[in-house]
Chain A
Amino acid sequence: MLSKSQARAFFFGGTAVTFLIFIGLTIYSLAPSNDQTNHHNITEQVIKGKHLWEANNCMGCHTIMGEGAYYAPELTKVIDRKGAPLVKAILQSPVPWAPNGRKMVAYEMTDEEADAMVEYFKWIGQLDLNGFERIVSPLAKDK
């Protein structure tokens, strides 16, 4: 029968081994040679877009790369689906955008801010998401 010290050894040993493997895999998958994100394409505008994305908690309604709140559409490949002019118009609208009656906050972004958001979405749209990019945006599949 298992003793308490054996159980303790199982806990500490198992934890240590799996944690080390986890760290190893993290280093491996974030190594530049395994980049699937076109990291070199992250411009100042993309970074500004990410700041705006966070500052307005867009993830509180939308999803991006499948992560968010499921209340508003997935925005991976949104530029492919809707085009930059419409996306900019929605972000700059002084009245809430409300497709099918579901309201979005009217952010009234400046031209510069809306451009940064578009660049951010374009960068997201180029990610290799291991096949998810084709499932999540069926309307953009054939483009």
Chain B
Amino acid sequence: MKYKSQQVAYWFFALCMLLFALQIVYGFIMGFARIGMDGLHDWIPFNTARAVHTNLLVIWLLTGFMGAAYYIIPEEAQRELVSVKLAYVQLISLALVGVAAITGYHFNIWEGRKFLEIPRELDYLVVVNVLLFLGIILATLFKGKRQTTTALVMVMGLVFAALLYLPGMIWFDSQVTDSFFRWWVVHLWVEGVWELIMGGILAFLLIKLTGVDREVIEKWLYVIVGLTFLSGILGTGHHYYYIGVNKIWLIVGGVFSALEPLAFLAMALFAVYMYRKGEKNHPNKLALFWTIGAAIVSFVGAGLLGFAHTLPQTNLYTHGTLVTAMHGHYAFWGAYAMIVLAIISYAMPNMTGRKRYDKLNGHLAFWLSNIGMLGMVVALGVAGVVQVYLERRLGMDFMVAQEEVKIHFVVMLINATVFATGITLYIYEFIKFGRPTDEALEMKEEEEHILVK
């Protein structure tokens, strides 16, 4: 760590850990409800658990991206953040808005639009919060000594993410138009601008961990984010197949979303190739595992599993079934959760000065969470395919088909326990690192001396 103000990232990461843990708790509530154990129904009905589960995901990932930006931008711009005090104000207000929204969901206060359940009144506070965040980051970047491609791509992703939140705040009388623009936010976030943020974090980590020349990494970063937008923007069409808009989207969405895996494949190949090309033997093996893991799992989860049901002919049957949940879990895990866990794993030793690089707990956290998540995804996939056949092909009633897939949720819960054990170990390691120290700043020279082989 080179700049003291980078320490602010620690508190964003700590909030991440707390929200992630809560997200998993609500996931279990949903899983148990699906096998008939819904004792909490009177206090936390399924729609509350679901809204909390998905919104906590969005909030903790955004918190992670913000923490990553506060860590990465000073280092890239080669100066301190313009205001640490405002960064803390932003963190606390973000946490307060998040807590207010999540609490409201338990009292039927929300706006029931998948992923965008935050009521419009709170939306305005989200906007103010994000503007403050962007103000700090942009001012730091442009007052800095240099504006690197890595920083610019990441900041572009953050600015676009903020802009794209706006179409989701407009009221439409028609459910169809409402859905249409809701996907402007949700799809263009996760299959568009969030990939810029991911790409920026990935490039930063690869530069640090592999020692490959920045120019080479950043050139390929442009190619990857170029492929992302080339396929992802018109790929939005795969959400428009069957929601009451023109058939042209069947062709446009089909062709361009079939190209979407290419961007993820490029990202995976890029990460693996840079790792092999790199001559630096960085001691932080865990950060390297999470980084390369994110690139590979995002290709499988977002790329391949997305492709599995993206063609209109397939999607006609899988749209609105558990197949979507299968893809959603592995895509979010690989592309975004893992990259946030990667930057945390990289930043923690540097911020605290404690070199817990290669601990058994850390490795167990990586493998248990990955194996558990893969098991969950397989269980959801089997449940989804069974649901499609029983309900959509054989015409069975929804609840009759749900009874048939119950067993797969038992399997899912067992795997979720493995996953949760992994994440618990990750959080345990996070706590063991302790708080950031100023000695970590002084260790910089020694650290770099050791790092370069």
Contact = CB atoms under 8 A, between A and B. Distances in A.
A interacts with B? yes
Nearest to A66: B320
B399 A3 contact: no
Interface stretch (B12-20, B127-135, B248-256, B438-446): B248-256
Given A129-B243, A132-B319, A103 B38 contact: yes
Interface residues of B, number: 74
A72 to B, nearest CB: 8
Q: Which of B112, B247, B324, B392 neighbours the largest number of chain A CB atoms within 10 Å of its CB?
A: B112
A19 B233 contact: yes
Interface band, chain A: 35 or more
A47 B319 contact: no
Given A69-B46, A69-B47, A73-B399, A57 B112 contact: yes
A66 B243 contact: yes
Interface stretch (B71-79, B170-178, B342-350): B170-178
Given A54-B111, A57-B112, A65-B175, A105 B45 contact: yes
A93 interface: no
Contact of A130 (B177, B241, B395, B402): B241
Given A99-B399, A129-B243, A39 B112 contact: no
Interface in B222-252: 222-223, 225-227, 229-230, 233-234, 236-237, 240-250, 252
B112 A54 contact: yes
Nearest to A52: B112
A59 interface: yes
Interface string A113-136: 000000010001001111110011
A67 B243 contact: yes
A26 B234 CA distance: 10
A54 B250 CA distance: 28
A103 to B, nearest CB: 5
A84 B229 CA distance: 45
A66 to B, nearest CB: 3
A129 B219 CA distance: 43
A11 B110 contact: no
A90 interface: no
Interface in B245-301: 245-250, 252, 256
Contacts of A92: none
Contacts of B233: 15, 18-19, 22
Given A30-B245, A36-B246, A135-B392, A74 B320 contact: yes
B88 interface: no
Nearest to B396: A138
B395 A65 contact: no
Contacts of A54: 111-113
A102 to B, nearest CB: 7
Interface in A29-88: 29-30, 34, 36-37, 39, 42, 46-47, 50, 53-61, 63-74
A4 B113 contact: no
B228 to A, nearest CB: 9
B124 interface: no
Contacts of B316: 131-132, 135
A21 interface: yes
Interface string B172-201: 011111111000000000000000000000
Contacts of A70: 320-322, 324-325
B276 to A, nearest CB: 19
Contacts of B240: 29
B388 to A, nearest CB: 10
A26 B225 CA distance: 23
Contacts of A36: 176, 244-246
A139 interface: yes
Contacts of B324: 70
B50 interface: yes
A11 B229 CA distance: 8
Contact of B174 (A15, A39, A74): A39
Contact of B225 (A11, A100, A136): A11
Contacts of B317: 135
A26 B271 CA distance: 35
Contacts of A63: 320
B219 A4 contact: yes
A141 B110 CA distance: 34
A44 B359 CA distance: 62
Nearest to B216: A4
A50 B175 contact: yes
B176 to A, nearest CB: 5
Contacts of B110: 55, 57
A129 B325 CA distance: 22
Given A124-B175, A132-B319, 9 more contacts: A7-B222, A28-B246, A30-B245, A55-B110, A57-B112, A61-B50, A96-B41, A131-B242, A136-B320
The 5 closest A-B pairs by CB, nearest first: A60-B47, A66-B320, A57-B112, A132-B242, A138-B395
20 contacts: A3-B219, A4-B215, A4-B218, A11-B222, A14-B230, A28-B248, A37-B176, A37-B244, A50-B173, A56-B112, A57-B47, A60-B117, A65-B179, A70-B322, A73-B398, A100-B402, A102-B399, A135-B317, A139-B395, A141-B395
